[in-house]
Amino acid sequence: MLRQGLGSYERARRGYEGGTGPNRYYPAAMLALPHVASGKVREIYEIDQQRLLFVATDRISAYDVILEDPIPDKGRVLTGLSLHWFRLLDTPHHFLSTDLSTIPGIDDKERAELTGRSMVVRRAEVVPVECVIRGYLYGSAWREYRSGGGPATEHLPAGLEMGDRLPQPVFTPATKAASGHDENLTEGEARGLLGDELYDELRRRSLEIYQTAAGHAAASGMILADTKFEFGFADDRLLLVDEVLTPDSSRYWPADAWQPGRSMPSFDKQFVRDWLDGSGWDHTPPAPHLPPEVIEGTRARYVDAFERITGTRFQAYLEGS
């Protein structure tokens, strides 16, 4: 009975997010479908009781702030990457279709805007835990490790340095805190929240998917340093949901640039972060407008990530969508 105890936890989460009611809130210039949920850069709409429309926008966040200017096609890059992985991974998932022609209530203009950036997905009861897998010691886990240890690093050996490859990938689940930030859970806390059976299954599935994806990434000259998965129940099956293995949910490094002990620039976002740093912005909204060359340079980096990871041309993805 994997899903025992999930219901009450999920209800509590819905209570504080407050974003699950149909028609509760329409983000700028979007659809007449009932709105289900809004993320910093993604939107979810209801098609019917069984199906949702998952939309990746061109919004970009930096230093936790949504920037004023979209990055053209960023949502299509991320959706194309999720589709690449859903097809490649041999694991039950929520993706159903990219066919928008039979969805009622979308006009031609909206359909053109949604093409390439949206997925029809199976509605699931989302497990309220982010399933993070780390193959390398970086970011918040490195900071935690260096300052004496904590939940994400409790099972790591001593003596590692920044950016080290871990002896084996670790499952470091986290939960969305009321602040909106992820809070790492100890193994004991996660087992307490989920129950041992669901914890073990999420860990097994997440590690298996990471291993498969990291192997494919390596064959393309990329390191998959870490990634975050979400799962949900539909008809008592545990499905991989959300976006998968995108640069927004994962840390990819070019293998030839990696060296332990060194900081690794973000493949996709470093360019825009560097410009923001030089602008003197203090990270309080609104962010400054980006010059055209920074918008175009950031787009080029997302497209480069797509082409390296999938081994296919992004233009071909656009033309096939």
- Strand locations in 39-130 (E): 42-46, 51-56, 61-62, 65-66, 95-97, 118-122, 125-126
Binding mask 229-258 for ligand PZK (x = CB under 6 A): ---x--------xx----------------
Which residue matches tokens 């997925």?
Answer: 119
| Smallest distance, ligand PZK to C-beta of residue 48, A | 13
- The tokens of 244 are what? 């998968």
Phi, psi of 247 (to 5 degrees): -65, -20
- Strand locations in 47-138 (E): 51-56, 61-62, 65-66, 95-97, 118-122, 125-126, 131-136
Shorter beta-carbon distance to ligand PZK: residue 26 or 271: 26
By CB under 6 A, the count of residues binding ligand PZK is 17
In the set 2, 31, 42, 287, which binds ligand PZK (CB under 6 A)? 42
Q: What is the amino acid identity at position 142?
A: W
By CB under 6 A, the residues from 151 to 180 that bind ligand PZK are none
| Smallest distance, ligand PZK to C-beta of residue 294, A | 25
3-state secondary structure of 134: strand
**Window contacting ligand PZK (CB under 6 A); options: 31-39, 184-192, 279-287, 306-314:** 31-39
- Bridge partners, residue 45, by sequence: 35, 53
| Smallest distance, ligand PZK to C-beta of residue 41, A | 8
Q: Does 193 bind ligand PZK (CB under 6 A)?
A: no
By CB under 6 A, the residues from 91 to 120 that bind ligand PZK are 94
- The tokens of 153 are what? 């690093």
| Smallest distance, ligand PZK to C-beta of residue 125, A | 7
| Smallest distance, ligand PZK to C-beta of residue 242, A | 4
CB atoms closer than 10 angstroms to residue 266: 17
111, 102 in Cβ contact below 8 A? no
By CB under 6 A, the residues from 123 to 142 that bind ligand PZK are 123-124, 126
Shorter beta-carbon distance to ligand PZK: residue 38 or 220: 38
Binding mask 48-87 for ligand PZK (x = CB under 6 A): ----x-x---------------------------------
**Residues with Cβ within 8 Å of residue 259, at least 6 apart in sequence:** 163
Shorter beta-carbon distance to ligand PZK: residue 52 or 185: 52
Closest-CA residue to 62 (of 246, 263, 250, 275): 275
Contact residues for ligand PZK (CB under 6 A)? 37-39, 42-44, 52, 54, 94, 121-124, 126, 232, 241-242
